[in-house]
């Protein structure tokens, strides 16, 4: 099969980790007889320097016309204090908006080899953690009406959701659950918030009508935040609002032990998605070959799974990463108290490639 992939390496360690992910995809393409055509676009700080615009029109159009987008990370101290529209992060917001991405997927997995790197107690980590957080990305309190009184003594933000907004993200969650353990936990604050009561009613109506084979339960967000550290093995797929998802996905990330291992995806109505590691541009280690490429590599595997439906190929990449870690290889960012030697980023990539050959 042939796919056109738009690559936006971005700044800092972005180019290092995306080029590792491209090598992995090229190896998989050769093995399975696919053709991946990569086209590179500029965005973020580099684009500000060159064009005075963090998201040049050609980049956005190239991404819109691709089958999927692979992003590194954007930003850095050089551009952090620029005003408004000139900020590097606007490239991300512009891409999300332009590609109409309303769902964010954040897997939180404790790799079997890294149970000691988890912040959780050993007996809890031992039970495993493989959660897919499905977060609504373009609605809720981050986009609702907000304001401040003239005297500055009062401010407000509005949590607002419509039934179609809830249905489309819940549908994604149910579909993903069918490819996993068929269990969705919807998280809200329905004991207090009217918008949460609408959320809960809508998710249940959809589940009963279209996904009766998927087990559905609810948790209040305060309880959910406790359960994620008390017994993460309870969860399969979590679906939740923009703000709750923002907080719970960072909490779950901590449970897994390293920022350099965490992938993410943003999806819209079409098959096309944007795939990126959750980490930033890590200016402190950029250009030193210290960046862990595994999060970018796992993001590429998500692209194969969720945009191209290449499940076997995605499984193979996931397994290669898991096996390299089981063999004992570590990069410096992995908080593993048992590790004695550390690989450079390019050496870690090489270990993964060797597993795929
Ligand atoms: P960061 O994720 O870049 O770095 C945090 C810490 O984690 C640093 O010590 C860094 O060295 C380390 N780290 C991150 N990724 C790593 C990897 N793959 N391997 C090894 N170590 C890794 O977060 P930050 O320092 O808060 O932000 C730096 C810049 O990145 C800022 O300009 C910020 O705006 C930007 N940023 C961009 C994105 C994005 O593009 N999606 C996300 C977060 C931050």
> Residue 54 has which token pair?
């963090």
Which residue is closest in CA terms to ligand 1's atom 15?
Answer: 279
Report the C-alpha gap between 90 and 96 in whole angstroms.
10
The set of residues, in sequence order, having a beta carbon less than 8 Å from that of 261 and lying 6+ positions away, is 109, 111, 114, 292, 294, 295, 298, 334
3-state secondary structure of 94: helix
> Residue 216 has which token pair?
């559905």
Cβ–ligand 1 distance for 293 under 6 Å, the answer no
Task: Answer whether 274's CB lies under 8 Å from 99's CB.
Answer: yes
Query: How confident is the model at residue 134, as a pLDDT?
Result: 98
- Under DSSP, the state recorded for 192 is T
Which residue is closest in CA terms to ligand 1's atom 8?
Answer: 282
* Residue in 246, 318, 333, 336 annotated catalytic: 246
CA-closest candidate to residue 214, choices 270, 172, 168: 172
Helices (H) and strands (E) in the chain, counts: 12, 12
Which residue is closest in CA terms to ligand 1's atom 31?
Answer: 76
> Residue 168 has which token pair?
């489309």
The set of residues, in sequence order, having a beta carbon less than 8 Å from that of 166 and lying 6+ positions away, is 136, 198, 199, 202, 203
Residue 187 CA to ligand 1 center (angstroms) comes to: 28
β-bridge pairing 2-10 and 68-73? parallel
Residue 189 CA to ligand 1 center (angstroms) comes to: 31
User: How many Å separate Cα 238 from the centre of its chain?
Assistant: 14
Active site residue 49: no
Residue 280 CA to ligand 1 center (angstroms) comes to: 3
CA-closest candidate to residue 353, choices 339, 338, 341, 343: 343
Which residue is closest in CA terms to ligand 1's atom 1?
Answer: 280
Report the C-alpha gap between 53 and 34 in whole angstroms.
35
Task: Answer whether 136's CB lies under 8 Å from 263's CB.
Answer: no
* Residue in 189, 306, 318, 336 annotated catalytic: 189
* Residue in 142, 157, 218, 319 annotated catalytic: 142
CATH number of 119-256: 3.40.718.10
CATH architecture assigned to 1-103+270-357: 3-Layer(aba) Sandwich (3.40)
What separation in angstroms does the CA of 317 have from each of 3, 100, 104, 189, 314? 18, 28, 21, 37, 5
Question: CA torsion sign, 338 to 342 to 348 to 350?
Answer: negative
The set of residues, in sequence order, having a beta carbon less than 8 Å from that of 28 and lying 6+ positions away, is 34, 304, 313, 316, 317, 356
Cβ–ligand 1 distance for 288 under 6 Å, the answer no
Task: Answer whether 98's CB lies under 8 Å from 245's CB.
Answer: no
Task: Answer whether 244's CB lies under 8 Å from 97's CB.
Answer: no
What separation in angstroms does the CA of 251 have from each of 226, 244, 278, 282? 10, 11, 13, 20
Give the number of the atom of ligand 1 that is nearest the alpha carbon of residue 294. Answer: 18
Residue 289 CA to ligand 1 center (angstroms) comes to: 15
Mutate to test the pocket of ligand 1, among 259, 274, 331, 348 (most ligand atoms within 8 A of CB): 259
Is pTM beyond 0.85? Reply is yes
Cβ–ligand 1 distance for 74 under 6 Å, the answer yes
Query: How confident is the model at residue 205, as a pLDDT?
Result: 98
Cβ–ligand 1 distance for 47 under 6 Å, the answer no
Residue 149 CA to ligand 1 center (angstroms) comes to: 36
The set of residues, in sequence order, having a beta carbon less than 8 Å from that of 287 and lying 6+ positions away, is 16
Q: Is residue 24 left, alpha or beta, with left meaning phi > 0 and alpha meaning psi from -120 to 50?
A: alpha
Residue 134 CA to ligand 1 center (angstroms) comes to: 22
Q: Kindly give the residue spans of alpha helices, DSSP state H, lying in the chain.
A: 14-32, 45-51, 57-64, 90-98, 122-126, 163-178, 194-210, 221-230, 242-256, 294-306, 311-326, 345-356
3-state secondary structure of 77: coil
Active site residue 222: yes
Give the number of the atom of ligand 1 that is nearest the alpha carbon of residue 74. Answer: 40
Cβ–ligand 1 distance for 285 under 6 Å, the answer yes
Query: How confident is the model at residue 109, as a pLDDT?
Result: 92
Which residue is closest in CA terms to ligand 1's atom 5?
Answer: 282
Active site residue 142: yes
| pLDDT, one tens digit for every residue, the chain (357 residues) | 999 999 999 999 999 999 999 999 999 999 999 999 999 999 999 999 999 999 999 999 999 999 999 999 999 999 988 887 788 989 998 999 899 999 999 999 998 888 888 889 989 999 999 999 999 999 999 889 999 999 999 999 999 999 999 999 999 999 999 989 999 999 999 999 999 999 999 999 999 999 999 999 999 999 999 999 999 999 999 999 999 999 999 899 888 877 889 999 999 999 999 999 999 999 999 999 999 999 999 999 999 999 999 999 999 999 999 999 999 999 988 877 777 889 999 999 999 999 999
Task: Answer whether 329's CB lies under 8 Å from 348's CB.
Answer: yes
* Residue in 201, 213, 217, 222 annotated catalytic: 222
**For the chain, how far is it from start to end, CA to CA, in angstroms?**
20
Could you give the residue range(s) of every CATH 3.40.718.10 domain in the chain? 1-103+270-357, 119-256
Radius of gyration of the chain (CA): 20
Tokens 């031992």 -> residue: 126
Residue 327 CA to ligand 1 center (angstroms) comes to: 27
């Amino acid at each position: 099969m042939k796919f056109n992939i738009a690559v936006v390496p971005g700044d800092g360690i972005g180019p290092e980790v995306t080029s590792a992910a491209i090598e992995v995809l090229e190896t998989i393409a050769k093995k399975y007889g696919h053709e991946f055509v990569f086209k590179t676009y500029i965005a973020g700080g580099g684009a500000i320097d060159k064009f005075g615009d963090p998201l040049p029109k050609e980049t956005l159009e190239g991404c819109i016309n691709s089958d999927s987008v692979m992003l590194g990370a954007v930003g850095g101290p050089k551009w952090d204090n620029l005003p408004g529209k000139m900020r590097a992060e606007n490239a991300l917001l512009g891409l999300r908006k332009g590609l109409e991405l309303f769902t964010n997927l954040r897997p939180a997995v404790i790799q079997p080899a890294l149970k000691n790197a988890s912040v959780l107690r050993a007996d809890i980590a031992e039970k495993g953690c493989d959660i897919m957080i499905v977060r609504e990305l373009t609605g809720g309190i981050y986009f609702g009406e907000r304001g401040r009184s003239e005297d500055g003594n009062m401010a407000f933000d509005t949590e607002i959701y419509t039934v179609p907004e809830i249905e489309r993200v819940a549908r994604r969650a149910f579909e993903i659950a069918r490819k996993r353990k068929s269990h969705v936990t919807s998280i809200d604050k329905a004991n207090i918030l009217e918008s949460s009561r609408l959320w809960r009613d809508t998710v249940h109506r959809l589940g009963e009508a279209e996904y009766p084979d998927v087990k559905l339960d609810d948790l209040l967000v305060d309880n959910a935040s406790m359960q994620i550290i008390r017994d993460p093995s309870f969860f399969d797929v979590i679906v939740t609002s923009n703000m709750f998802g923002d907080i719970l996905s960072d909490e779950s990330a901590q449970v897994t032990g390293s920022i350099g291992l965490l992938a993410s995806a943003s999806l819209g109505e079409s098959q096309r998605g944007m795939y990126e590691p959750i980490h930033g541009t890590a200016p402190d280690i950029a250009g030193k070959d210290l960046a862990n490429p595994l999060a970018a590599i796992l993001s590429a595997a998500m692209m194969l799974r969720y945009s191209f439906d290449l499940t076997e190929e995605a499984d193979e990449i996931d397994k290669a990463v898991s096996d390299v870690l089981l063999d004992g290889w570590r990069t410096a960012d992995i908080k593993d108290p048992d590790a004695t030697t550390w690989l450079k980023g390019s050496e870690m990539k090489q270990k993964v490639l060797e597993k795929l050959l």
